[in-house]
Amino acid sequence: MTNFIVKKVAVLGAGVMGAQIAAHCINAKVPVVLFDLPAKDGPKNGIVLRAIENLKKLSPAPLGNKDDAALIQVANYEDNLDLLAGCDLIIEAIAERMDWKHDLYQKVAPHIGPNAIFASNTSGLSITKLAEGFDADLKSRYCGVHFFNPPRYMHLVEIIPTESTRPEIADQLEGFLTTTLGKGVVRAKDTPNFIANRVGVFGILAIVHEAEKFGLSVDVVDDLTGAKLGRAKSGTFRTADVVGLDTMGHVIKTMQDYLPNDPFAAVYKTPAVLAQLVEKGALGQKSGAGFYKKVGKEIQRLDFATGQYVAGGAKAADIIARILKEKDPVKKMKALHDSTNPQGQFLWAIFRDAFHYIAIHLDTVADNARDIDFAMRWGFGWNVGPFETWQASNWLQVANWVKEDIDAGRALCDAPLPAWVFEGPVADKGGVHTAEGSYSAVSNSFVPRSNLAVYDRQPFRAPVIGSGAVDGKTAGTTVFEDDSVRVWHSGDDVLIISFKTKMHVIGDGVIKGLQLALAEAEKNFKGLVIWHADAAEGGAFSAGADLQSALPAFMQGGVKAVDPIIAELQNTFMKLKYANVPVIAAVAGLALGGGCELALHASKRVASIESYIGLVEVGVGLIPAGGGLKEAAQRAANQANGNDILQFLKVGFTNAATANVSKSALEARKMGYLKEDDVIVFNPYELLHVAKVEARAMFDAGFRPALPSLIQVTGRYGWGTIKAQLVNMRDGGFISAHDFKLGEMIAEIVSGGDIDQGSFVSEQWLLDMERKAFLELLNHPKTQERIMGMMQTGKPVRN
């Protein structure tokens, strides 16, 4: 095995993309130097310094921990080109001008190390033409590496090799991007705008064209093409506003300039409405107006007919909304095809246009159909790729409908569908995705997935419809399964428990499942991993305790009936904490309330970078009662190490009292919800692999749980100090009387109660305090208002 280790990255260009790519390298603990032009005024590195300062203000945050901005090394092209010699990867991310890029390349090329990879983050310029002027050696180490905005959050990166790029260069880069930066890599051909922007921008242009044809307003189109269609909830026009209408115009111009002979060339004409907006300076969100404009508190939409902004908020017709809820894709597509409603006809038209386009261009833009589907899912936020949609909707039937529209002149161009659509392996298999692989129009065969070693770390790779990929929900050998959990293994020495409840909430069934899984793991396995099959697809680790399932007990027997439920939750978490085999919490997404407490009681946490962890019970008028406050007290005592505990306790108190949720796993570590030796994973598809490796390693190293110990607390001194601050906040009108009560209860528990400063208490002492306070609050009218409000609206009630 030959390791490719990136010791340092250089990013050339401190604009929106360059600065954020640098930030994500820092998130991944990869040293990075960020270059730009020397500033004309002020500090010579002023352009880069301002870009780094701006990173702290952006939302969503590019940095997992804002303080890490200081770790980005600053540089300029005049004084610091010698720094390039120490970089293993150099990413160019300046403006989309071929001449500017060539000028920069002439400056930097002599300073690039002999083994470094050089890559451009261009969104669509020819990589082959960009490499003109390089010697043969540098050409062999040069390729495109196209990140999507925002780089931390968008899973897609396109690698675009040229005919000169050595295969091992692209392979090494793919390994680094996949594991270290956590990306989903697609290999694209060196054609204008590559895959995602080529297909995605065509789709936007087709939507604009069809919306005008069917007389639909921008708000209706966005409702139709957003979450209801399984795409980004912002829809089409709102997404364009966010991206920037000038940016959209540049991408369209690339298609106009470089695709004059494309059968769809007429569609690439900049829509008149877009050109007019850009000319007026209405560039979308960054300028305050685009297809939408905020006027006071009202969001107005552009009226295509008048060019004026008018009241928005119109939605899809009820009949179309019902069609889009149909779970059978065959029935759904037929209903849209047969619809006489303009909105239904519009939706069929944009599906038809997409299918027509990807069929004609598959051979030139991608190695196979799978890469187009992943590009659209990972780069444009589609739940299902276009080829997947076509295949799931009855391949040949849909193909014939598309052909009918082409023949009748209803399509966007008259180019016929390729012969492979109707005959040969695709027609025989009923689509482009099979267990053998995905269809390549060049080889007229099904191409298997990449077998690079990096993918051995993904037990369940991202599937495509029709591929017959193994599903984490059913894989392996099931030991126990009911409506709440599945306990299973992959034929090896680590047991896994996966929750099946909505948002993986913790009710009686999950508690019993955890107890059963732990007993089985201690008897027959090296460890237990808590992992859920949707971890890589945006699923929650756990949204907390299932309050709804406890309501019947409360309604019938009051708090006395709830007391044993809370006690059982606490006891189960304590069993996990002191288990005789390692228990690993594989955290991704939301870990709130009881979900946070579950993770805190594991032997170790392996967390996706996109983990949002916090104790949020005050939002429903309660306090954490699964040991979260007990853990905060223990953490503060350990950190104090004989010094004033209160100084360390304030963080844990504030987190719980304000329902503070981490915006990343890196921030969760800073907040104390992850420990220094917990592992942060950047690719969520690798989460289970890493968790199992950790469990096995801990067991093989002779794992023993910590011995239960007493916790030193601040007692009435800490309680009183925090309470005094809460009184000031209440009297100043910053918090309500009920918020004050909640804060005081949390302060009492984390301080250990009305006892002397420096006293030692057991974990059970603090658990009993948690449970008592929780039950008292459950009887409180204000808490009941908050619980009912949350259940009815999904939003916290401030009372």
Question: 3-state SS string over 404-424?
Answer: HHHHCCCCCCCCCCCHHHCCC
Q: What does the block give as tokens for 559?
A: 């708090």
The confidence band for 439, taking pLDDT boundaries of 50, 70 and 90, is very high
The confidence band for 3, taking pLDDT boundaries of 50, 70 and 90, is confident
- Phi, psi for 641 (deg, rounded to 5): 50, 45
Is it the case that residue 654 has pLDDT exceeding 70? yes
Is it the case that residue 1 has pLDDT exceeding 60? no
**Averaged confidence pLDDT in the chain:** 96
Is it the case that residue 280 has pLDDT exceeding 70? yes
Give the whole-angstrom CA distance, residue 196 versus residue 186: 10
Is it the case that residue 605 has pLDDT exceeding 60? yes
% of the chain surpassing 70 pLDDT: 100
The confidence band for 529, taking pLDDT boundaries of 50, 70 and 90, is very high
pLDDT at 791: 83
Residue 43 DSSP symbol: S
Q: What's the full length of the chain, in residues?
A: 799
pLDDT at 243: 85
Report, as an integer, the average pLDDT of 206-222: 97
Is it the case that residue 2 has pLDDT exceeding 80? no
Return the amino acid letter for 645.
I
Is it the case that residue 388 has pLDDT exceeding 80? yes
The predicted-structure confidence for 100-116, as pLDDT tens digits, reads as follows 999 999 999 999 999 99
CB atoms closer than 10 angstroms to residue 288: 13
Q: What does the block give as tokens for 310?
A: 């008018």
Q: What does the block give as tokens for 765?
A: 């002492």
Nearest alpha carbon to residue 240 among 371, 258, 295, 232: 232
Q: Are 633 and 746 in contact (CB under 8 A)?
A: no
The beta strands (E) that lie in 286-437 are given as 292-295, 298-302, 309-311
Q: Give the angle subtended at the CA of 669 by the CAs of 500 and 681, to the nearest 5°.
A: 55
Give the whole-angstrom CA distance, residue 665 versus residue 651: 17
Highest-confidence segment of 293-302, 553-562, 695-704: 695-704
Give the whole-angstrom CA distance, residue 397 versus residue 594: 49
Look-up of token digits 């019902």: 322
- Phi, psi for 34 (deg, rounded to 5): -110, 120
Q: What does the block give as tokens for 89?
A: 């990867």
Question: 3-state SS string over 127-184?
Answer: HHHHCCCCCHHHHHCEEEEEECCCCCCCCEEEEEECCCCCHHHHHHHHHHHHHHCCCE
Output the CA–CA distances (angstroms, integers) from residue 108 to 5, 103, 112, 753, in the order listed: 22, 9, 7, 64
Report, as an integer, the average pLDDT of 47-66: 96
Give the whole-angstrom CA distance, residue 39 versus residue 131: 28
Is it the case that residue 300 has pLDDT exceeding 60? yes
The confidence band for 404, taking pLDDT boundaries of 50, 70 and 90, is very high
More confident of the two residues 688 and 124: 688
Report, as an integer, the average pLDDT of 37-41: 95
- Phi, psi for 254 (deg, rounded to 5): -60, -40
Output the CA–CA distances (angstroms, integers) from residue 61 to 56, 153, 240, in the order listed: 7, 9, 20
Report, as an integer, the average pLDDT of 76-94: 98
Q: Are 699 and 526 in contact (CB under 8 A)?
A: yes
pLDDT at 554: 87
Give the whole-angstrom CA distance, residue 723 versus residue 314: 49
Helix (H) or strand (E) holding 588: strand 583-592
pLDDT at 552: 86
pLDDT at 549: 86
Is it the case that residue 465 has pLDDT exceeding 80? yes
Taking the model in full, what pTM does it have? Answer: 0.95
- Structural domains present in the chain: 9-187 (3.40.50.720), 196-447 (1.10.1040.50), 477-616+661-706 (3.90.226.10)
The predicted-structure confidence for 738-772, as pLDDT tens digits, reads as follows 999 999 999 999 999 999 999 999 999 999 999 99
Is it the case that residue 269 has pLDDT exceeding 80? yes
Give the whole-angstrom CA distance, residue 479 versus residue 635: 35
Look-up of token digits 């790779």: 461
Four-CA torsion 101, 105, 107, 112, nearest 10 degrees: 140
Give the whole-angstrom CA distance, residue 531 versus residue 66: 29
pLDDT at 695: 99
Residues 6+ apart with CB under 8 A from 534: none
The beta strands (E) that lie in 640-736 are given as 679-681, 711-712
pLDDT at 548: 85
Report, as an integer, the average pLDDT of 211-237: 96
Is it the case that residue 797 has pLDDT exceeding 90? no
% of the chain surpassing 90 pLDDT: 93
Nearest alpha carbon to residue 192 among 131, 289, 123, 136: 123
Give the whole-angstrom CA distance, residue 375 versus residue 188: 9
Alpha helices in 578-627 (DSSP H): 594-600
